Every structure is written in C-alpha cells, then in structure tokens.
C-alpha cells in the first residue's frame, strides 16, 4: 500500500515555487537589453530557476517515493516516472525534464549557459510549472482523506 503524501511539505514547496515564479515572471517582462545587460538580473534568474526546479523535484521525489514506492536518481527521471504511472501528462513531464536538465547545466557548467536561451525559457516555459503545480494540487487534494506523516 502506498504511503500518504506529506501535504504540508508539498504545499510548502509549492509556496516556494510560487515565490520564484513571481520573481522570474518579473525578469521575463524586462526588455532584452535590460535583462541581458545586467549581470545581477541574470544571476538572480539563474538562482531562482535553480530553486524553482529543486522545489518541483523535491515534490516529485516525494510523490514517487510515497505513491509509487520508487526512488529516482536524477531530477529529469522523476517527472518521467510520474508520467509513466499516469500522474502527469507525458508532454508536460518531457518539458519539465528539459527544465531540470537546464538546471543541471546552471549548477554544474555555467560557461555553457546561453543567457538568451534562459530569457526565452522564462518567457515561454514557466506556464509548464503552473501546470505542474495544478497537477500536484489535484493529486494532493485526491489524497486528502489520508493521514499526513513526515517525509
């Protein structure tokens, strides 16, 4: 039998994600030159994206461990595991996995980051995070009858 989802932890991570989404949307709204010409904006966006993806992955890992009784070795694999079990749309999982791989580049190889790509991602891909949050909220609501336990 699957273990219950720790709703408090999941909702706290969603709150973290929403704070980062707000900051990133503000940066996405900047004109190209204002964003790309300001190293502080770029560093801030990189950091916010890292925090955002890590929060999403923490939720994913928790859900996979609790409901599927599996462990995943990497962030991109986690979203694929949710999709493989019908808990997340496969196309959304693919896009979130790509975002997780981009996070890995940010963390492990700053020299390879194209900041124009980062800005484009902020302008087009954040809606995928909104969809993920919605899917997770639905999943948590569906498990509302279960008892919550610490992770």
pLDDT digits (tens, 9 = 90+) for 56-114: 999 999 999 998 998 888 888 999 999 999 999 999 999 999 999 999 889 988 667 88
* CA atoms of 145 and 60, how far apart (whole Å): 20
CATH of domain 7-141: 1.20.120.580
DSSP letter assigned to residue 112: G
Q: Average pLDDT in the 14-38 region?
A: 97
* CA atoms of 128 and 83, how far apart (whole Å): 14
**Are the beta carbons of 46 and 113 closer than 8 angstroms?**
yes
* CA atoms of 30 and 150, how far apart (whole Å): 40
CA-atom Rg of the chain in angstroms: 16
Q: Is the pLDDT of residue 148 over 70?
A: no
* Domain locations along the chain: 7-141
Q: How far is CA 51 from CA 29, 89, 103, 125, 140, in A?
A: 20, 23, 9, 15, 21
* CA atoms of 140 and 125, how far apart (whole Å): 23
pLDDT of residue 1: 61
DSSP letter assigned to residue 111: G
pLDDT digits (tens, 9 = 90+) for 123-140: 999 999 999 999 999 998
Query: Nearest Cα to 68, choosing from 57, 55, 82, 79?
Result: 82
């Amino acid at each position: 039998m699957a273990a219950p989802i720790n709703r408090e932890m999941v909702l706290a991570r969603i709150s973290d994600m929403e704070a980062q989404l707000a900051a990133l949307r503000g940066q996405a709204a900047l004109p190209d030159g204002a964003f790309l010409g300001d190293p502080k904006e770029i560093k801030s966006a990189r950091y916010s994206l890292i925090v955002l993806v890590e929060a999403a992955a923490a939720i994913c890992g928790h859900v996979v461990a609790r409901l599927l009784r599996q462990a995943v070795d990497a962030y991109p694999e986690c979203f694929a595991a949710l999709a493989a079990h019908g808990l997340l749309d496969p196309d959304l999982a693919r896009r979130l996995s790509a975002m997780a791989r981009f996070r890995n580049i940010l963390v492990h190889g700053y020299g390879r980051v194209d900041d124009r790509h980062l800005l484009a991602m902020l302008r087009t891909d954040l809606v995928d995070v909104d969809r993920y949050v919605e899917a997770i909220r639905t999943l948590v609501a569906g498990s509302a009858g279960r008892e919550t336990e610490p992770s």
